[in-house]
């Protein structure tokens, strides 16, 4: 199970009001949402069915703090500078600079370019979607995921086990009132929450069903934005 199914999902713009309402119902002590009639949580099976990404199966996603050091990061990305990696994080802006140099449609194709392109793509996806943070960067330790190209990709790794706790942690952080000034926005792949709510409650749906709705997998791919199709 890789990311092939995951990339069929077209989430569109999230309903920020719904996300904020769910955040207010989140209890960090139980990692569940407390609704007026009871509590309900996002379970691993919900995660797999909604996102099409494995949970609890495959190799543990590698993480090695040594790649937080500039010299080690250079072994993967020789052109990286010290400005591109700070506080143990690699800037997503740096990863985007590889878009054209590693594009096989622009440059002569070879196996090395193919491998680098895959590494950059997965790294950017991890930092921008899966493990997104307020610093628009990727924790450099996750570069360990890109080392062994024989298992590089999604089908061999257990992505769900680290993704869900990351989302839980962000919900914990944003749902608790802080003494400091300013508001904190939820990060992580929070779009999952919106579709989870639609599946269970079938209310506040601005999305419409597609053909063979009950047979679509992942479930997040079974919805389309009605506003986009109507031009609203």
pLDDT in tens, 158-167: 888 998 988 9
What's the Cα-to-Cα distance from 54 to each of 29, 94, 166, 200, rounded to whole Å? 26, 29, 15, 21
- The rounded mean pLDDT for the chain is 79
Sign of CA dihedral 149, 153, 159, 162: positive
**Contacting residues for 44 by C-beta, under 8 A, at least 6 apart:** 55, 56, 160, 164
Out of 99, 115, 146, a domain closes at 146
Give percent of the chain above pLDDT 70.
73
pLDDT at 211 > cutoff 50? yes
pLDDT of residue 1: 41
Question: Do residue 37 and residue 79 come from a single domain?
Answer: no
Under 8 Å between Cβ of 39 and 32: yes
What is the average per-residue pLDDT within 192-217? 77
Select the more confidently predicted residue: 116 or 173.
Answer: 173
Average pLDDT over residues 190-197: 87
Tell whether 1 is covered by a domain. Answer: no
Any domain includes 154: no
Domain shared by 46 and 117, yes or no? no
pLDDT at residue 40, as a whole number: 95
- Number of domains the chain is built from: 2
Is 0.85 topped by the overall pTM?
no
pLDDT digits (tens, 9 = 90+) for 123-144: 888 888 888 877 788 999 988 8
121 and 171 part of one domain? no
pLDDT of 232 reads 47
Residue 16: domain span: 6-57+162-230
Range among 39-48, 152-161, 196-205 with highest mean pLDDT value: 39-48
Distance of alpha carbon 119 from alpha carbon 76, whole angstroms: 9
Confidence of residue 176 (pLDDT cuts 50, 70, 90): confident
Whether residue 29 is predicted with pLDDT greater than 50 in this model: the reply is yes
SS3 14: coil
Q: Residue 100's pLDDT is what?
A: 62
More confident residue, 15 or 35: 35
Q: Per-residue pLDDT for 228 more than 80?
A: no
Residue 152: inside a domain, yes or no?
no
Which of residues 146, 174, 200 is at a domain's end?
146
Comparing 209 with 56, the larger pLDDT belongs to 56
Greater model confidence, 156 or 127: 127
Are 52 and 166 in a shared domain? yes
Residues β-bridged to residue 35: 38
Task: Answer for the pair 20, 174: CB distance below 8 angstroms, yes or no.
Answer: no
Residue 192 pLDDT exceeds 70: yes
Q: Whose structure tokens read 């995951």?
A: 6
Residues 6+ apart with CB under 8 A from 146: 76, 119, 122, 123, 152
Q: Is the pLDDT of residue 80 over 70?
A: yes
Find residue 139's DSSP bridge partners.
89
Q: Does 93 lie in the same domain as 124?
A: yes
- Is 53 found in the same domain as 67? no
């Amino acid at each position: 199970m890789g990311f092939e199914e995951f990339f069929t999902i077209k989430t569109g713009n999230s309903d920020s009001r719904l996300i904020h309402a769910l955040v207010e119902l989140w209890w960090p002590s139980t990692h569940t949402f407390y609704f007026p009639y009871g509590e309900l949580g996002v379970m691993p099976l919900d995660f797999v069915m909604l996102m099409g990404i494995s949970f609890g199966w495959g190799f543990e996603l590698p993480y090695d703090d040594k790649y937080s050091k500039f010299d080690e990061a250079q072994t993967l990305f020789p052109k990286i500078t010290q400005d591109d990696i700070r506080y143990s994080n690699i800037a997503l802006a740096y990863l985007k600079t590889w878009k054209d140099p590693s594009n096989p449609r622009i440059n002569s194709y070879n196996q090395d370019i193919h491998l680098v392109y895959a590494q950059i793509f997965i790294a950017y996806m991890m930092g921008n979607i899966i493990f997104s943070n307020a610093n628009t960067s990727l924790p450099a330790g996750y570069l360990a995921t890109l080392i062994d190209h024989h298992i590089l990709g999604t089908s061999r790794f257990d992505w769900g086990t680290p993704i869900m706790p990351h989302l839980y942690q962000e919900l914990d952080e944003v749902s608790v009132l802080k003494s400091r000034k300013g508001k904190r926005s939820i990060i992580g792949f929070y779009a999952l929450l919106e579709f989870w709510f639609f599946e269970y409650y079938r209310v506040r749906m601005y999305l419409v069903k597609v053909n063979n709705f009950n047979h679509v997998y992942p479930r997040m791919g079974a919805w389309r934005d009605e506003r986009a199709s109507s031009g609203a």
